[in-house]
Amino acid sequence: MRKLLFLIAFGCLQQACEAQVLHFKDSLRTWFAAKPSFTMSLDGRSSFIGASAASVLGGRLGWDYGRVGVYAGLYTLQRRIFSLQYSRPGDTLYRRLGMTYASATFEYLFYKDTRWELKIPAQLGMGLASKTNIRNGVPGETVRVFMFPLEAQMTALYRLTRYLGISAGLGFRMANGAGPSYNGSIYSIGATVFTGTLYKDWRKSREEQKPLKLF
């Protein structure tokens, strides 16, 4: 009897898994059915390295399918971080931290109306993290290790005009391989220019020989 119940439960679970896989495949076909548009943009954000605030400079390019987007990007710290390890009379130790990495991004748009867009971008990257101990002003050997950062965010964008919007995001970075000093929250806020829309309208205005109205 127990074997029969186990076989029935296993069969039901298998069918449920197969149904979920088929549903996911259908979703993928739907997401990537639209004609993609090529995009290229800056992708900086603020973050924390250890207990220090840091600015991460970045840029990305890729394809926007409407519901989803796939991108490749390159990121680095705007400036290296100096973290005080200890300070005693006649003996002070700082640690200088840096990182540079490339990443692949998958971005999912889960809500959109005439003004708002809410997205979940997930990034998986590979790069180098560096550490240098500076004791009493004298730098030691720089140690570099491979890092595999995993980042997840939620971003919100509000469209002010057809070509201009404001955006904000909040998330977390897990820097696998580099140590806990490189883990930290990430956040961003700034202006967004819809270059794709601007370019399409500019081409249309040229074809129709009409001036482009920015506002």
* Inside any domain, residue 194: yes
CATH number of the domain residue 120 falls in: 2.40.160
Residue 23 in domain: no
Q: How many structural domains does the chain have?
A: 1
3-class secondary structure, 198: helix
Contact 99, 112 (CB under 8 A): no
- Asked, for residue 138, whether it belongs to a domain, the answer is no
Rounded-to-integer distance, Cα 34 and Cα 109, Å: 14
In a domain, 113, yes or no: yes
Identify whether 42 is part of a domain: yes
Is residue 44, in this structure, part of any structural domain at all? yes
For residue 106, being part of any structural domain is answered with yes
Token pair for 129: 């993290």
pLDDT for 12 equals 46
pLDDT at 4: 44
pLDDT at res. 90? 87
pLDDT along the chain (215 residues), means of 10: 43 47 58 81 86 91 92 93 89 93 95 93 95 92 94 94 90 92 90 80 79 72
Print burial letters for 132-161: b (CB count within 10 Å at least 16), e (below 16).
beeeeeeeeeeeeeebebebebebebebee
Domain of residue 119, residue span? 32-79+101-128+148-208
**25: in domain:** no
